[in-house]
Structure formats: C-alpha cells, structure tokens
Amino acid sequence: MSDDWDGRAETYRQLEWANRRGLIDAIIGELDPQPGDFILDAGAGIGSVSVAVAPVVKYVCALDKSQAMLDKVPFRLNIRRELGDVMAMRFFAETFDGIVMRQVLHLVEDPLQALWECHRVLRRGSRMVLVEGIPPHLDLMEWFAGMLRTVKDRYVFSTDDLYDLMQHAGFSIVRQALYVEPQVSISNWLANSQVDSGIAQQVLRMHRELDERGKRYYNMAVGEDICCDFHFLILVGRKG
C-alpha cells in the first residue's frame, strides 16, 4: 500500500478534516501530556498534532516517511523532524512518554507490526493514542469499506478490529472514545487527497446514491457539495 505523500504535501494543509482543531484537541486530551514528556507523533504528516502538543511537553519527534511532508512542519525549538517508517523505527526501546498515531494505521503494510514498534519504543506505564476513521454505524461497514477502497487500496477497520490489534500488540486498553467531526466536505477531502477526477465523481455518486438510512447515519447534507459527519475512534492503550 503506497501513496505519493511527497506530492500530497502541497495540498495537505487544505485538507479540512485533518486540520480542524477539534479532533486534535481531543487527541491531546486523551494523551494527557506532562511538561517533562518526550512525545512521538508517529506518521506526523505536516505536524498538526506535533505543533499542538509541543507547548505543553519537553520534546516532540515528528516522524514521517515523506521528507516533503516533514518540510511543512512549522519550526519549533522542541520539535524534531525525523524521516523514517513506523514499521521499523530507529529509536531505542522505551524512548517516549507518549505516542500519537492519527489516521496512519490503515495505510501501513502490516498494522500489527507498526503497533508492535510503537509498543517497543514506549516507556512502561505510558500511553499511546490511536485514531482511525470508522463508519457511523456497523450497518454501513460494507459500503464504507467499498467507498474508501474506491479511493485507494487500504485497510478498513471496525472498532473490534482496532481493539484486537492494540491488545495483540501488548497494550491494555484504558479508554475508548468516539469523536464526531461535523459536516466535512467530501469534495474538499477528495480534491486535497489528489484523487483522480473520475474516481472522485464515482465516490460522490456513491454518497448521493446511499439509501436514506445511511444518509441519516452520516447526517449527510446533499447539495452542490456533500457534507457528512466523519466518525473517528480514539483508542487509548497503556504499556504495562
């Protein structure tokens, strides 16, 4: 599973769901960072989470496999940009006091391996916050998976899938929360993810043709654009 992340760096800051502050604030609240903490933003992209958490901790490592993405991370004295892959991180065991992985796990080749790596580099007793998009209702799981895979080959997870992966990686789940990002533009998501225009039209059509029950689950507003409530599962795991 691969993406042209260097190419996407130019438009990522315009990606509505990724840069609204609500989800980022919810993530930081679940992480519960402390002033002396060393935090890993695993799959940091342009560093939205890194920049938000930096003022309240000692040090943040923004890790990403795209140099172009890392070049967009705003300068802060306590943010270090690290080129690397979450599948094989070049850190000693038990380096970090907290880890955030936001909307990354569905794109890696081996999700369990990525979580094992996070477990390895996290200090005992510390927290990892995992965030992934999920359908608004289990009845829509098949449609949700088909829609996302129309855009790009990827893993699609249910709540139970993510819970099992975290546990198999060695984490104890201490909290599970749902975050709803209201009325996100589907056109904005597709345009700033650099989706081919033909595929974008197909995805828009899938939303327009979704049955009324599905549209209610999404709180969907259909006009010239389509806006939906995006649902994110936040799992907080602790290393024992």
DSSP code of residue 88:
S
Joined together, the tokens standing for residue 96 give: 């970090």
| Nearest in space to 101 (alpha carbons), one of 197, 239, 238, 234 | 234
Does residue 10 have a pLDDT over 90? no
For the ranges 4-13, 37-46, 210-219, the lowest mean pLDDT is seen at 4-13
pLDDT digits (tens, 9 = 90+) for 29-63: 999 999 999 999 999 999 999 999 999 999 999 99
Q: Taking the chain, what is the end-to-end CA distance rounded to the nearest angstrom? A: 31
pLDDT digits (tens, 9 = 90+) for 170-189: 999 999 999 999 999 999 99
Quickly count: other Cβ atoms within 10 Å of residue 115's Cβ: 27
Q: Locate 20 and state its tokens.
A: 């609204």
Q: Assign domain 5-139+153-182+230-239 to its CATH superfamily.
A: Vaccinia Virus protein VP39 (3.40.50.150)
Assign 111 to helix, strand or coil. Answer: helix
Alpha helices in 9-135 (DSSP H): 16-19, 21-31, 48-53, 67-71, 111-121
Phi, psi of 73 (to 5 degrees): -70, 125
CA atoms within 13 A on the CB side of 90: 9
Q: 132 near 230, Cβ under 8 Å? A: no
Strands 59-64 and 38-42, how do they pair?
parallel
Determine the Cα–Cα distance for residues 237 and 118; give it in Å rounded to an integer. 11
pLDDT band, residue 235 (cuts 50/70/90)? very high
Question: Model-level pTM?
Answer: 0.95
pLDDT in tens, 67-92: 999 999 999 999 999 999 999 999 99
What is the residue extent of each domain of the chain? 5-139+153-182+230-239
Long-range contacts of 51-55 (CB under 8 A, 24+ apart): 51/76, 51/79, 52/21, 52/24, 52/25, 52/28, 53/28, 53/100, 54/78, 54/79
Residue range 115-142, pLDDT digits in tens: 999 999 999 999 999 999 999 999 999 9
Return the exposure string of 215-227: e unless at least 16 CB atoms fall within 10 Å of the residue's CB, then b. Answer: bebbebeeeeebb
Structure tokens at 68: 């172009």
Residue 166 pLDDT > 90, yes or no? yes
Q: What percent of the chain has pLDDT over 70?
A: 99
Q: How far apart are CA 67 and CA 83, in angstroms?
A: 6
Distance CA 167, CA 154 (A): 21
- Cα–Cα distance list, 101 to 56, 138, 146, 200 (Å): 18, 23, 24, 27
Structure tokens at 143: 């449609």
